[in-house]
Structure 1
C-alpha cells in the first residue's frame, strides 16, 4: 500500500493519477495518529521533506518529495524574474539537497533560508521568495505577498517519487515475506500465540492458539472480542502494561498466559499474548496454590525499594543481597518497626525463588491451637468446625518459595518442637492426617527479642535456634540512621498526598530538626504514623509542627526520656567504676580495666563521691 502524508489536494491528485496507471490505489493521511492505526500493515509513505522528521520514527519506507532547482528556474522563466534576487525558503533537509544540487550544477545565483530561521533581518524587499507548494500555510509579512512564488514539483519530480515508491513495494513484499517467516516460526512454537492491533483486530495467530481457543476459519482481521467477549487483551491495549503469569481455564484446560503491549513512539499500537497448558505437576501445584490463596503470596518490595542511603542501611542491604544467593535460613533481628518483612521480601525477590510464592505469617497473631493449623494445615473432620475438604497450611502454600515467620520468638514451645521436626525432615503432616507431604521451602524468620536470652530462660528451644540462626541480619533502629529521615519523610508524604488527596509540597524549617532529634522508640512505623497524622491535620501546602498539637506532648516525652537515659547512663558508669575499684586495689589497674587514664578515673571518683 502507498500512502500520501500531508500532501495538498492538487498535488495529491497528480500523484494519485500516476499511481492509478500502475493499478495502485493510494491512501491519504493528515495526522500521525491516523498513520499509527495502520502501522501494523506494510506501507510505503510519500511525503514532503518538511514532514519526514514527523514520521521517521514509524520505521516504514519513506519517499521524500522535494522541489529542485529546475522547478524554481521554470517559474523564473515563466514570469521573467531575471532582474530580482532569488531566495529559496524551505525545510532544513530540503535545503541540504538543494545546496547539493547547486554545487553539482554550478548554479550559484540562489540563496537559501531555512523556514524556521526566516526573520525581518534576512528579508530583502526586492527579493523573490520561492516556497514549496506544500508550505502554503507558511505566514509571510503582508507586504511581501507579491514577492512569494509557490513552486510545484515538476511532473518529472513527481514521477521520480512515484517510481521510487513503486520500487519500494518490493521491499514491503519482502517485509510480508518476513512476516510469513515469522508466522512460520510462530506456528512452530508449542505456545499458543495471538496478536491484535490497536483496535483489537487479530493480526497474527498460530494453530495452537486456534486449537486452545476453539477458533475456526479465517480469523485475521476479526475482533478478538468476537471470540472472547471479555478478552484481557483489551485491558493491555488500554493500560499499556504487560501481564505476566496470569492463570486462566480455557475449555477445561489450565493455562499460564503472558500479555505484552506493542509500543511504537510511546504509543500502544497492538498487543501480543502467549499461553500454554500447564503440564508439569510441580508448576501446576505452585500456580494453583497461588490462585487459591492469592493474598500474601507475592513479595512486592525489592531491596532497591528500601529507602535509605546511610552506611548502616547500605551495609545491611548489601549483606541481604549476599544472603539471597543461598538457600540457607536467615534470622532477621531488630527492634519493632525497623522493616524486617521488607528485607525478607527483598531477599526473596533477589533469590532464585523470586517467581515462586512468598508467604508471611505472624507467629504472635494466633493462639497456640490456631497457629498450628495455620502453619501445617488440617484434614477434614480433624476437629469440630474444621473446613470441609481440609485446609492447606502456609508451609504448603509456600512450596517452592519462601516462608517468612515473623515474631518467631513468640512461638509456643510445643509448636517450636513441631517446627523443628518440619525443618529437619523437610515435610509436614496436617493436623488429623496420616499423609506426609514433602516440601521445598526456604525459611526467613524475624524477631525483636534477644533469642540468646530466651534460650537461657528456657523460653526458646536451643536446637531450633541453631537451626534458624544460620545467617543473621541485624537491622539498625531509626535513631542510628537519622540521616535517612528526610528521604523517608518525602516518600511518605508523596504516598499520603495520593491516598488522602492532599497537596503537601514542603516542610517548615523546624520539622526536620525535631524529627531528627527524637529517639524513635517505634522506629519507621512510628515515623509513618506521625507523618500521616501531620498530613491529615495540615491545611496548607507546607507541613508544620504548629498545626500538629500532638507533637508538643511528644517533645516533652522526648525530653523526659533523654533525661532519664542520661541519669541511667551516669548510674551505670558509677556502678562500673565502683566494681573496678573493688576488684583492683591499684587505681592504675582499675583505670586500665575501664579503658580510661588515671586522671580521668580520679575525676570520676570525685564526681561520684566514691
Structure 2
C-alpha cells in the first residue's frame, strides 16, 4: 500500500490547506515517485518533468524537513518554474521509520513568500502534525485493507465449506449464514425455514446460556434427513454480546467417510471369493441373479465358511454398491448395548449415554446394506423390534418417540439351526420367515475339496505380500495333508494355518516341519509307521519317574526331528531347539 491508495482523502486535505493558509500545497508519493494531490499549479501540472532534480527527492533521501526561500540561485537542482517568489516548505511523511511521501507548501507571490519567511518554523511544526495525521490515516487504511482482505478470505471459506454454518447471537438473531445452511434449512420457503430455525435456536440458546458446547443429531427438511449439529459458544472479550457458531453436517458425507474403507473392500468382494468347485460356481451365479433384489437374504453355513464375504459380494453386485455396507455381529455386542448399537439413542436416554446421542447402524446403512451376522444370538425382545423395522421401514431411537424412515437391504447370517430354535421358542417364527425369504447355503470346506489348494495358494500370495516372503507353494507332503484334513474350522482355519506356516517358512515351499500343532497331530496321529523310535519303553513300570520323563522327552525330540529332512542340518537343529525352548547341548544329550 502507498499514498496513491489514499488519493481521495489527500485531495480533500490539500484543498483545505489552500483555504486556510493561502499557500499552494502538494503531496508526493515516494515509491513510485508521483504527485498524488495538489492545488493551483500542482493540480494543473500533476508531475515533474524530472523528479531527480526536485526538492522532494532530497527530502526523501535525507528523511528531514527542508525550507527553501530562494529557489532561483541553486547549483545542484533546477526549479523548473519561472517564478521569482517561489519558496518551499517540505516535510517527509514517515510510516514506521520509512518515507512514504512528502508534503510541501509553496509561495507564488511576494505576500505568500513573506509569510513563509516569517512563519517557516510554525509551518514546519504544522506540516509535522499533518504528516503524523497522514501517517495515522495510512496505518488505519492499511489495517482496514487487511481486515477487508481477511473478511473476504473468511467469507470465501465460509461459503466454500460443505457444512452449513450459522453465526447466531444471544438476541436470537442470525448474524451470518452460508449458502449450504440456507439450502439445508429451506431458506426459500419462509414457513419451513422458520420452523427449522426454531429447532436450532433452542439448542444454540442453551449453549450460550450454559457456555457449553453441544453435539446433537436433529431431523430437518421435508424428507426428515438427519443432520448432526455441533454448536460452540463464542464470547469475545471486546464484544459484550455472547454468540454461538452452529455447524450443520451433511450426514450423507459423514456416512460416506465412515464407510469408505468398507466400500473399497466391497468393490473386490466378488473377486475375493476363491473357488472352482461346482457348489461355489452355483452360489456365485445365484448371487448375480438376486443381487438387485431387495428381498431379505439369509446366509446359512458353518462358522468360518465366509458368510460376511458372500454378503459383501451380494452388496457389491447390487444397485446399492455405492452406498454403505454396515456389518453388525449380534453375538459380539453385549445384549444391553445391542439395541442402542442398532437403532442409536437420544442425548441423555440412559446413564452413561454419549452426550449428543449416537447414530445407530440402521441409519448409518441408510440407502445401503445392513449385514446382521449371528442373527440367532439376537435376544427375543430385540427380535420383535427388528420385525417392526422390516415391516414399517422405520426405526425409533432409544429415548425418542420420533420414527425415522430408513431404506436398508437386510442380509442376515447364522451358523445355527433357526428352525429348531423356532420350535424351542428361542427365535421368533414370524421373524424367521421374514428373514428367510431367500436362503443361501454356503458349503463347508470339506464338501469342496477341489477348492482347498486354490484357497491355500490364494492365502500364500496374501501373506507373502504381508510378510515380504517369496514362497512358491506347498511341498508334496503338506499338499497331501491339507487334502486329507477335514477342516472343521473351514476357510478361516485354512487361512490361519497358511498364515502360521508362511510366518515360519524360510524355503521356497512350505515344509511339513512348519505345520501348525493341530495339523501335525492329525498327520502323525494317523500314520505312526513313519516313527522309527520305539515308544513302548516310555510306559515301562520298572523305571523311575525321572527315567520315564527322560524317555518321554527323548520321544518328543525324535518325533519332531523326524519331520525334518534327514540327516538333520544345523539350522534344523536350531529351529527344533527354538520350538522346544531348549539349548543345543540339551538337544544332543537327549537325542542320542
- TM-score, scaled to structure 2: 0.47
Find the structure with the greater CA-based Rg.
2
